[in-house]
Each structure stands twice: as C-alpha cells, then as structure tokens.
Amino acid sequence: MSDERIVILAHEKFPERAKTALGVMRYGDQDVRAVLDRDRAGDRVRDHVSDLDDAPIVESFDEAYAAADGDLDALYIGIAPIGGGFDESWRADVEAAIEAGCDVVSGLHYFLTDDAELAALADEHGVELRDVREPDDDLTVATGGAGDVDADVVCTVGTDCSVGKMTASLEIVAAARERGIDAAFIPTGQTGIMIAGWGNPIDRVVSDFTAGAVEDMLVEVGDDYDLLVVEGQGSIVHPAYSAVTCGILHGSMADGLVLCHAAGREVVHGFESFDLPSVSEYVDLYEGLANPVHETDIVAGALNTKDVEDDEDAADAVAAFAVDAGVPAADPVRQGADAIVDGIVDAGLGGSTVPGASAGAADE
C-alpha cells in the first residue's frame, strides 16, 4: 500500500531470483526500509541493483526492526519458491514481524491465513495476514460493464508467459503520467497486486468469474482515470494458461492492446515442444478474438530485450518487432515506454486532455 514502511523478505535470492521484491522496490509506492537476505547481510541494495532506492540488506527481521527504530508497518514476502510453498526457514522472521505489530503480505499459493500458528499469533497481536493471492468471495460473472467506464482501457497481451507484461504495463502508466495523462495500473497477478496495494488475482479466481474479476476492478476505478492499463497474463495460445489470458482480454473490453514479446523467444517458456506463432499471427489472433466482444486493435508493442547484450542489437530487434507487429514499439525498460504511449495516444486513447502524441511532449 502507498507509503507503507516495509521490510521485504528475499532470503538467499536477492536480487536475481527475487522478482516480487524487485517489482515492489522498482514500481511500488512503499517505503522499503530493509531487505532480508541472510546470504547478503551487510551489503546494501545499491551494491546489487543501481537504479533502486538504497536500503540495508540484513539477516533477520529483528535486525531490520532495530535499524528502522521500530517504524515499520509490514513485512512483504518478496520471493516465491517453485510451487508457491512456505519455506519453514522464514517462520522466525514472520513471527517476529507479527510480534512487532507488522502486517504480513504474501503472494504465495500457501495462504498464511491457513497456517493455524501464524493466524493465532496475528490475532493475538492485532495484525493482518494479507494473502494477495486469495480472491474476494463476492466475485461473479462479467456483465460487459467494462465497456461503460469513462476511462480508455489498454490491455497488455503477450506471445508467451514471462515476456514482461507487468513491467510494460507499469512503465506505460509511468510514461503516460509523465505526459499528464491520468493513468492507472490494473493488476491481475500477485506481484502486481503487491505493488498496487489492491486487485484481484485473476489466475486464482473460479474460471467462470475470470472476465468478471477483471471487470470488477475496471468498474471500481474506471471513472476516476482517463487511462487504465490492464496487466495481461500468459498468452492466448498457451497450452496451460490461455483461459486466464482470454478472460482478461474479454473482461477488460480493451480499447487498445499492447503486444508484448521477448526477443529471441521461439518456443513456449517451460513447454518447449510448443512453437510460438509469428508476431503477425499473434496480431491477427488477438484482434480477431477481441473484436466480437469489443472493437480494438494492437496499438503498440513492447519487446523485452534483456537477453540481448548489445544496445544496438536491441534497438534493431525492437525496430524489426515494430515492423512485424505494424505498430510503434519499444523495450520499455531499456528505452522507456514513450514510443508505446505514442501508439496509445495516436489511437485516440488516454482521454480528451491529450490532444495528440506531439502535444504530450510539451510536458517533458
């Protein structure tokens, strides 16, 4: 949540294997007072990641609490083992946080509220265990209501899992705000929810309510903004996760789509016997599937070039991707999301306050 003073647990995994921790540190409004990593204790965040706000890396919650003079609101679990279980080596830190009056925020599949010991301790100390992966009980089927919100809606859609849809969405929101567009991020996954401080974990809702859970969020905030950027999930031709993708696509009733891809990716991540279609085929698939529910187009592209070492090669890859997709494109991390926002604005999206892509430059 905004301005929360927090500690992030990332034992033995900071920074490379602490995706959630990095996401919250890079994009969240939280005030990160310390990172817990027993393997890096004594280092500083900036020793490892130069573009983040600095903070000490410490061995235990107690040490973090002392360093912060007790000014702490919450402990965030910033890592997720394969399978999403709770690692027993974290228990002492979680218990110490609860005893110190801190909420505990977790995106694990394993719900902290289902852990009888932790639940009892939290109860005793009057703190909240916030399992962001647990859906609200009052979700229901979509009604088509996302089409009626005042804001324009953009949805990031992918050629695969793990191509950077959440990052692209957050960078688009940041770049749009820079131009004076009143934009907001609509999270759909656990890291996005931890960053935003609210949201429905779409991959965990009852399948019949997939689109409805997206609509629910858009209706909740849709009249407060000019542009909403919905974090997409998976890919529409993913052998396992396409249902979630499809529900987000139709539930968002997006006015524009941003196609996200990772440079060099040719087969489905983790399902290597499945080839990815060509970029232009994805454009046709997403537009063809979305249009009968709500008219839309691919309006921009985001290419993740983290595996391309040379900057010039990366720029070439982005240029080629833009040609294949037929829209403006950028690597939002390497190049910033301005070209992507250009595509969104050129499609007439982002609210009446934005007369055009070039006018936006006046803010810069």
**x-or-dash pattern for its own copies, window 205-224, by CB under 8 A?**
xxxxxxxx------------
Q: How far is the CB of 89 from its own copies (least distance, A)?
A: 25
- Which C-beta is closer to its own copies: that of 147 or that of 336? 147
Helical packing angle, 165-178 and 338-346, nearest 10°:
70
Between CA 347 and CA 337 the distance in angstroms is 16
- Which C-beta is closer to its own copies: that of 272 or that of 309? 272
CB 170 within 8 A of CB 148: no
Query: Which of positions 183-202 make contact with its own copies (CB under 8 A)?
Result: 202
- Which C-beta is closer to its own copies: that of 180 or that of 277? 277
Is 240 an interacting residue with respect to its own copies (CB under 8 A)? yes
Amino acid identity, position 328:
P
Q: How far is the CB of 248 from its own copies (least distance, A)?
A: 8
Is 269 an interacting residue with respect to its own copies (CB under 8 A)? no
Q: How far is the CB of 135 from its own copies (least distance, A)?
A: 9
Stretch that binds its own copies, among 170-178, 222-230, 240-248, 356-364 (CB under 8 A): 240-248
Between CA 91 and CA 344 the distance in angstroms is 45
Candidates 250, 262, 304, 329: give the one binding its own copies (CB under 8 A): 250
**x-or-dash pattern for its own copies, window 144-183, by CB under 8 A?**
x---------------------------------------
Residue 260: its H or E element:
strand 256-262
From the CB of residue 82, how many other CB atoms can be counted at a distance below 10 Å? 5
b/e map 105-129, b = 16+ CB within 10 Å:
bbbbbbbbeebeebeebbeeeebeb
**x-or-dash pattern for its own copies, window 103-132, by CB under 8 A?**
------------------------------
Is 274 an interacting residue with respect to its own copies (CB under 8 A)? yes
Cα 288 → chain centroid: 25
Between CA 354 and CA 312 the distance in angstroms is 32
Q: Which of 4, 7, 1 is nearest to 57 (CA)?
A: 7
Q: How far is the CB of 293 from its own copies (least distance, A)?
A: 5
Q: Cβ contacts of residue 300 below 8 Å, gap of 6+?
A: 256, 258, 259, 327, 328, 329, 339, 340, 341, 342, 343, 344
- Which C-beta is closer to its own copies: that of 67 or that of 285? 285
- Which C-beta is closer to its own copies: that of 278 or that of 358? 278
Residues engaged in binding its own copies (CB under 8 A): 141-144, 202-212, 236-247, 249-250, 253, 271, 273-277, 281, 284-285, 288-289, 292-293
